[in-house]
Amino acid sequence: MLFNKLKVFKSHGSQYIPDLKAVELPAIFRGRPELSECDAQTAEELVSMCPTGAITAAPFTLDMGRCLFCGECVRRAPQAVRFTNDYRIGATRREDLVVTTSTRSIPFTREAVRKEIPAMFAHALKLRQVSAGGDASVEMELNATGNVNFDFGRYGVEFVASPRHADGVVVTGPVSRNMAEALQVCYDAVPDPKVLIVAGSEAVSGGLYAESTEVDRSFYESHTPDLWLPGAPTHPMIFIEAVMNLIGRDRREDHTQK
Amino acid sequence: MKWFTTYNNGSAIDLRQIPSLSYAEFFEAVRERLSNPACHVAHYFGVPVEETRLRVWCMILNDEEHTIEVASYDVDYYDEELPSLTKEFAAMHPFERDMTERWGIRYDGMPWDKPLRAPSRSARRAGTVDEYPFYKMESASLHEVNVGPIHAGIIEPGAFRFICNGEEVLHLEISLGYQHRGAERQIETSKNLLRQVLLAEGIAGDSAVTHTTALVRTIEKLASFDSSKAGNLDVERAVALELERMAMHIADTGALCMDVGYQLGQVACEALRTMTINTTQLWCGNRFGKGLIRPFGTNFPLTDELRATILKNVEEIRRRYNEVRHDIKTTPSLLSRMEQCGIVNAQQMQRIGGVGQAARASGVARDLRVSHPWGVFTDRIAHQSIIKEQGDVMARLMMRCREVLQAADTITSLLTDLDCSVGSPAPQWEVKLPPYQLSTALVEGWRGECCHVAITDGEGRVACYRVKDPSMHNWLALAIAVRSEGISDFPICNKSFNLSYCGHDL
């Protein structure tokens, strides 16, 4: 019996990522998109093919908050769009998610961070997650932030069971009509001051369900997220990097200016 | 009356070929078929044809004959004397509830005539999702435990109501619908095939490959496209599906270890799942295989380099996971938690129409890869289902363990001699579909039988799209499993099924 455990233990080895700030994702990962100037016809074609209306033609922009990172626009017009493996794409302002032809990194706008967030949560941030019509993929990636590989708990950032124990809420999914009230109740149950994070493009904009009658996003009429995290799903590193910036444990500028 | 017979690898059906029965004929025909243990209902749904009239389609699978039988009947909102099939066949329950909820069709004597998803346009017009009429037992010695819709973890919402006598669960009722976001309607109303594919990827994110494969096969059948002649396409799809199966079964093994406080198994599985989904990511840029399955082709044909990487990783995962499996099997404290816990016997599983690995763990040999094969399972892979009889948490766990190893073998056998220079075609997005056809595709995902149906209108547009996630059948199995168990065993019972909320709620 013990021998079997030792075997598992030995094969398992050491799995944690030693430096979470230096992670590089494989080149094929679709992270921050880069746009190049293209003719009006190509841009119009991309606008009409994009299933979530993430692309505009004049000016030529791509809104990561709507983008599902399917990459089909790259197939249609590789000269105009490409996806980089840059996962430093979380933003404190919704408008920072819109990529233009001159965007070569996503700014982390610190002026938009409320002062109490780094002051109070720099060394411990406990979050309550609410899935509201999410497809379980973002949820699984958020779970993965605490797993043996990413171990975000080392920075004191963890998910907790009760909103009463939490310092903030992470919302996934477009907010289904049937979850609208529960989301509000859960958010209200978190003591002040509290953080609101939306994870996944569906949570940011409604994604494919933005127009659905079964979705109710009125929650966002009275609450503004502190952190907007695109992705379908949001890769654990997108979450980890943005949250570390939010609580002042990392500076995106140090990585993007290299 | 004879029903129209087709096969999973057959073509789309001209609607005129599908017999239209009276409800009385239909009732008898279903009764006759479902009395055969080799048969179960795969889908049963209504489509409005006129103001208050519906055409109702039913598909029954016969595992021995490998057939899909299809028939229909017409019904009006004001029709009466429609005896309920649920009374005799519990497997019909979610489907009849759905018919009542969506269209207001009432089935006489239907037990537990309750909401299913509480959509905004419910024909019930009664109450919100939070006003679900839970079953009640009045007794001073009983108490109720309500859990949800938000659960204590990063997991989807659903409301669970337990009636307990002390620690013992007498009854559990599960109310869903919180995740309902209108997936089918979005697919039906979209003219953009890419949008439809992306919607399929998000029906259940943990089964993205399964649901997307079902959707693209439904569309390809309408277009008379033969994927077996499209280079390595069938092999690539099967490998993607088996990778998804490995990843999720490993994740669930880890989750079960966590819930019994066995950390070594948990962390080992977390690392192995990471390795599995990172392999998928190396292939298509997404850890869940989103972007990998596309209609009529693929954007990511296998290369020799990729093939070698997948083979190497799968072999490593197989070896390490097998060590975890041995360890679990030889640890008495784990066995004592999981054996004889959460039992669903074969008879119960058969009655509720259970599918997938949960059914196979209860001795019900339902596996589309054997009964209704398509793609590589028709020729290259002679799949043999793993069947267990116990029907307890341990059986469902060991089922997962064995299926991970089996999936690894399937991938290895498919990839070892694959000639990657053959390649695969690129996807196609502009495609003209024929009018008045019904097309269906069945895919055995890691959770079980996934069934998609598309019906085209006079202009060849997808006017009706219906999705069935295996969870639709299996949620009731969880409710049965926890009866007379201690309430503290609910988490491991739940994880041993790991059913989908979003796949059910759509």
pLDDT band at B2 (very low <50, low <70, confident <90, very high): confident
Rounded CA-CA distance B209/B220 in Å is 16
Rounded CA-CA distance B502/B500 in Å is 6
CB atoms within 10 A of CB B490: 21
A201 touches chain B (CB under 8 A): no
How big is the A-B interface in CB pairs under 8 Å?
204
The amino acid present at B360, given as its one-letter code, is R
**pLDDT value at residue B107:** 93
Cα end-to-end span (Å), chain A? 51
Chain B partners of A26 at a C-beta cutoff of 8 Å? 281-282, 285
**pLDDT value at residue B83:** 94
Interface test with B, best of A28, A73, A135 (most B CBs within 10 A): A135
Chain B partners of A142 at a C-beta cutoff of 8 Å? 154
Peptide bond into A233 cis (omega under 30): yes
Q: Name the residue among B408, B391, B192, B404 with its Cα closest to residue B310.
A: B408
Q: What percent of chain A has pLDDT over 70?
A: 99
Q: Give the model confidence (pLDDT) of A80-133 as tens digits.
A: 999 999 999 999 999 999 999 999 999 999 999 999 999 999 999 999 999 999
Q: Give the model confidence (pLDDT) of B19-39 as tens digits.
A: 999 999 999 999 999 999 999
Rounded CA-CA distance A234/A90 in Å is 10
Out of A133, A208, A213, name the one closest to residue B198 (CB): A208
CB of B438 within 8 A of CB of B13?
Answer: yes
CB atoms within 10 A of CB A93: 17
Chain A partners of B288 at a C-beta cutoff of 8 Å? 137, 140, 233
Q: What percent of chain B has pLDDT over 90?
A: 90
Nearest CA in chain B to A51: B195
CA distances from B414 to A69, B317, B376, B381, B426 (A): 29, 17, 9, 8, 21
**Helix H or strand E encompassing B57:** strand B53-62
Out of B155, B181, B192, name the one closest to residue A174 (CB): B181
Structure tokens at B246: 């490995």
Chain B partners of A52 at a C-beta cutoff of 8 Å? 195, 198
Q: Give the model confidence (pLDDT) of A198-235 as tens digits.
A: 999 999 999 999 999 999 999 999 999 999 999 999 99
Structure tokens at A184: 């509000």
Structure tokens at B413: 């056998």
Rounded CA-CA distance B286/B354 in Å is 31
Q: Name the residue among A92, A5, A95 with its Cα closest to residue B334.
A: A5
Structure pTM? 0.95
| Prediction ipTM score | 0.95
Q: Give the model confidence (pLDDT) of B182-208 as tens digits.
A: 999 999 999 899 999 999 999 999 999
Q: What percent of chain B has pLDDT over 70?
A: 99
Rounded CA-CA distance B185/B117 in Å is 14
Nearest CA in chain B to A9: B264
Specify the residue for token string 């056809």.
B437
Peptide bond into A193 cis (omega under 30): yes
Distance in Å, alpha carbon of B251 to nearest chain A alpha carbon: 10
Question: Which regions of chain A does DSSP assign to beta strands (E)?
Answer: 33-35, 55-56, 61-63, 81-83, 98-100, 125-131, 157-159, 168-172, 195-199, 227-229
Please answer yes or no on whether B198 and A9 come within 8 Å at the CB atom. no
CB of A214 within 8 A of CB of B181?
Answer: yes
Average pLDDT over residues B411-435: 93
**pLDDT value at residue A1:** 77
Chain A partners of B199 at a C-beta cutoff of 8 Å? 208
Q: Give the model confidence (pLDDT) of B320-351 as tens digits.
A: 999 999 999 999 999 999 999 999 999 999 99
- Residues B475, B476, B480: CA angle, nearest 5 degrees: 125
Peptide bond into A59 cis (omega under 30): yes
Chain B partners of A2 at a C-beta cutoff of 8 Å? none
Distance in Å, alpha carbon of B292 to nearest chain A alpha carbon: 9
DSSP B173-226: EEE--TT---HHHHHHT---HHHHHHHHHTTSGGGHHHHHHHHHHHHHHHTT--
Please answer yes or no on whether A15 and B267 come within 8 Å at the CB atom. yes
A127 touches chain B (CB under 8 A): no
Residue B359: DSSP 8-state: H
Q: How confident is the prediction for chain A on average, in pLDDT?
A: 94
The amino acid present at B434, given as its one-letter code, is P
Rounded CA-CA distance B411/B243 in Å is 8
Structure tokens at B134: 């839970």
Distance in Å, alpha carbon of A65 to nearest chain B alpha carbon: 16
pLDDT > 80? residue A258: no
Out of A75, A137, A209, name the one closest to residue B181 (CB): A209
Rounded CA-CA distance B463/B217 in Å is 17
Residue B108: DSSP 8-state: B
Out of B120, B154, B281, name the one closest to residue A214 (CB): B120
Chain A partners of B501 at a C-beta cutoff of 8 Å? 136
pLDDT band at A151 (very low <50, low <70, confident <90, very high): very high
Average pLDDT over residues A180-199: 95
Q: What is the dihedral of CA B263, B265, B268, B269, to 10 degrees?
A: -110
Q: Give the model confidence (pLDDT) of B432-489 as tens digits.
A: 999 999 999 999 999 999 999 999 999 999 999 999 999 999 999 999 999 999 999 9
Please answer yes or no on whether B203 and A215 come within 8 Å at the CB atom. no
DSSP B417-441: T--GGG--PPP----PPPSSEEEEE
Chain B partners of A83 at a C-beta cutoff of 8 Å? 285
Distance in Å, alpha carbon of B232 to nearest chain A alpha carbon: 20
pLDDT band at B126 (very low <50, low <70, confident <90, very high): low
